């Protein structure tokens, strides 16, 4: 594995999102001095916090899987995720509601899910689910350590027996077709293939290997952190500060000073100069390229994932048919994917994710009130309406979205809302997200694994990238891994592990750090 050359005693991490904080913890555990600079007034990045009246909203991801990757980052500094954050396992992980009026609770426990599939679609589909679950587990084992949790220096690293195992499992076929080998019910197939949208590809065109995301969602388990998803970056920042990290809020990097092929300092917009031995850039790819002064040459332009419209609504009631996470599927399926990924039209028959965080933490809303987060995938600004067009389009789309929710059983939704905010591609663009998409670069074959933008920067010996725009990709688990992989580029990875406890106090000695803000309006993407 290639690593940063020369001294790496002091590392500046630009960005305090999940990848930057994970990177910082792994660097601290390896004995490095770390300064984190964050343009916002609080940690979190995409996983930020916004106040809407007396409501506290998560501005980014709402689904937590693979919490062991978080705990790995805390453990690097002798700390523990479970000592800092209370996690609630969600049962069901999702509730899937279909246009024909049927619904299915998606359980990660195998016995419970087999029984639910049998109730929903009969014994043959229940047997198919059992075979599918075994395949998902095998697919995960074939990919995780060799192709996801790894630093690629060359495509030739793919030439390993695990590649043959992945091929034998059908990982290079199409996702939708492969799921169809196990399940004939079209509704069930949606439950195990909609995750391809996270990777920015329609299930009919996605590699079957991306079913590893379905493994995380439907086999490995789904959790909710008390305090909302923002509790995670807040706890990570507190742990980092507790072992000596210098955390700078409202500190935006403006330029990188260079000498002899190395970055020697990070300058902030305030004019402050922070000398360093290495830099990890976790900001958006366009921002990273601006700081670097150039974008890497690629034979084909990067393609970005679809975007999303998110309606955050504080309401005076909720609906018994909603689980913590509810998937509301329309009748159309292939057509809607074509609309948002190719033709650039808004979904004519949308499939929606509705999250209700107050189902497991009532303190996120005033007494007797509820929070609802409604996510509607939409085209990014490259293939669909421009960012500016959403100034007029946004309010109209909000009204059509609310009307659709009422048609699907949330009667009285419009009248129940006492606080709301709408986030559209216009807002994602204002946050610096390329193509107005919070889901970054899509996972086409040419943008996956060793073909994804690499985390080492050509021409600079001491700069590393992390975040969803680089390896391994989009999503909370992979972003956490990107931080760990970036730290390994700096420290040399396992070879440096003997130093991990040299600077770290035990978890029992680490208290909450007042310098970490509990929430910040500046994290509001709207």
> Cα(12)–Cα(26) distance, rounded to whole angstroms?
13
Tell me what pLDDT residue 443 has: 87
Write the pLDDT tens digit of every residue in 257-312.
999 999 999 999 999 999 999 999 999 999 999 999 988 777 778 999 999 999 99
> Cα(479)–Cα(18) distance, rounded to whole angstroms?
7
Confidence of residue 514 (pLDDT cuts 50, 70, 90): very low
Task: Read off the tokens for 436.
Answer: 């107005």
Longest CA–CA separation in the chain, Å: 67
- Considering only residues 505 and 60, tell me which one the structure prediction assigns the higher pLDDT: 60
Is residue 367 within 8 A of residue 418, CB to CB? The reply is: no
Write the pLDDT tens digit of every residue in 87-107.
999 999 999 999 999 999 999
Confidence of residue 217 (pLDDT cuts 50, 70, 90): very high
With 80 as the cut, is the pLDDT of residue 128 above it?
yes
Give the angle subtended at the CA of 474 by the CAs of 364 and 167, to the nearest 5°.
135
Write the pLDDT tens digit of every residue in 395-416.
999 999 999 999 999 999 999 9
With 70 as the cut, is the pLDDT of residue 495 above it?
no
Question: In what helix (H) or strand (E) does residue 328 lie, and over which residues does it extend?
Answer: strand 325-328
With 60 as the cut, is the pLDDT of residue 510 above it?
no
Write the pLDDT tens digit of every residue in 355-400.
999 999 999 999 999 999 999 999 999 999 999 999 999 999 999 9
> Cα(358)–Cα(355) distance, rounded to whole angstroms?
9
């Amino acid at each position: 594995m290639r690593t940063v050359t020369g001294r790496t005693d002091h590392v500046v991490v630009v960005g305090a999102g999940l990848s930057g904080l994970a990177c910082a913890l792994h660097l601290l555990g390896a004995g490095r001095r770390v300064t984190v600079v964050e343009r916002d007034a609080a940690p979190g990045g995409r996983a930020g916090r916004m106040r809407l009246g007396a409501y506290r909203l998560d501005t980014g991801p709402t689904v937590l899987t693979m919490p062991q990757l978080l705990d790995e980052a805390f453990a690097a500094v002798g700390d523990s995720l479970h000592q800092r954050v209370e996690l609630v396992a969600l049962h069901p992980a999702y509730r899937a509601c279909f246009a024909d009026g049927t619904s299915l609770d998606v359980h990660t426990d195998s016995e419970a899910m087999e029984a639910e599939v049998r109730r929903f679609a009969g014994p043959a589909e229940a047997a198919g689910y059992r075979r599918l679950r075994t395949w998902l587990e095998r697919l995960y084992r074939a990919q995780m350590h060799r192709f996801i949790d790894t630093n690629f220096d060359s495509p030739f690293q793919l030439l390993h027996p695990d590649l043959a195992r992945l091929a034998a499992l059908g990982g290079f076929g199409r996702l939708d077709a492969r799921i169809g080998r196990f399940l004939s019910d079209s509704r069930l197939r949606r439950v195990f293939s909609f995750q391809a949208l996270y990777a920015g590809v329609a299930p009919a065109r996605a590699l079957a290997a991306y079913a590893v995301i379905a493994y995380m969602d439907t086999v490995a388990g789904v959790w909710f952190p008390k305090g909302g998803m923002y509790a995670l970056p807040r706890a990570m920042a507190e742990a980092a500060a507790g072992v000596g990290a210098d955390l700078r809020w409202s500190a935006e990097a403006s330029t990188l000073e260079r000498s002899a092929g190395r970055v020697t300092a990070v300058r902030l917009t305030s004019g402050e100069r922070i000398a360093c031995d290495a830099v990890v850039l976790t900001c958006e790819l366009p921002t990273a390229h601006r700081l670097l002064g150039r974008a890497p040459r690629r034979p084909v332009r990067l393609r970005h994932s679809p975007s999303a419209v998110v309606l955050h609504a504080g309401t005076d009631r909720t609906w018994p048919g909603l689980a913590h996470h509810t998937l509301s599927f329309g009748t159309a399926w292939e057509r809607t994917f074509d609309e948002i990924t190719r033709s650039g039209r808004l979904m004519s028959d949308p499939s929606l994710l509705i999250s209700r965080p107050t189902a497991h933490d009532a303190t996120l809303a005033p007494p007797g009130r509820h929070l609802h987060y409604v996510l509607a995938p939409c085209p990014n600004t490259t293939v669909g309406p421009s960012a500016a067009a959403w100034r007029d389009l946004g309010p109209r789309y909000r009204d059509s979205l609310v009307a659709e929710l009422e048609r699907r059983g949330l009667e009285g939704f419009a009248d129940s809302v006492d606080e709301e905010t709408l986030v559209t591609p216009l807002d994602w663009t204002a946050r610096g997200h390329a193509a107005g998409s919070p889901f970054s670069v899509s996972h086409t074959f040419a943008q996956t694994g060793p073909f994804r933008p690499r985390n080492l920067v050509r021409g600079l010996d001491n700069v590393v990238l992390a975040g969803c725009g680089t390896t391994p990709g989009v999503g909370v688990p992979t972003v956490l891994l990107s931080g760990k992989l970036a730290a390994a580029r700096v420290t040399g990875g396992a070879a440096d592990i003997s130093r991990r406890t040299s600077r770290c106090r035990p978890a029992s000695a680490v208290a909450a750090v007042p310098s970490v803000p509990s929430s910040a309006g500046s994290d509001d993407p709207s």
